Structure 1
Amino acid sequence: MLQRIITFFERYSFGVCTYLGERFNISISKIRLFFIYSSFLAVGFPLIFYFFAGIVLDIRNYVKRIHTRVTDF
């Protein structure tokens, strides 16, 4: 049951922790723990950052896909 929940969130999350981990060469689990702990300490501000970063990354990936489609022709 726990594995199904973890798989669901990894598949449908924005990929912010993965992006930050690859970008700064930090373990993804450490970044996730940072967001969880800092959310408790900062009363949810990191969650707002996480959702904003997720939206920015989605828009960025969308623009890249359109750009590659246009340049393929």
Structure 2
Amino acid sequence: MRSIIYKIRYFFERHGFYVSSRLADKLGMRAKSVRLFFIYASFFTVGIGFVFYLTLAFWLRLKDLVYTKRTSVFDL
């Protein structure tokens, strides 16, 4: 069982993670720097989506507070 797990791990390390190494070789950088860039970029894009969601929720709540539907003239 352990041997199968090591074979799968070796396969992904050899073939799956080779992308950042090749990209680093092409750019003349270290592979660690390329991996860190992708990690930071993924956190940044998730953060931007969350900030956009909170901004949209704020504006919708503000719109509901400003434009409340009044039933009659005496509700002022």
Q: TM-score range by the shorter chain?
A: 0.3 to 0.5
TM-score, normalised via structure 1 length: 0.43
Q: Normalization by structure 2: what TM-score?
A: 0.42
**Between Structure 1 and Structure 2, whose CA radius of gyration is higher?**
2
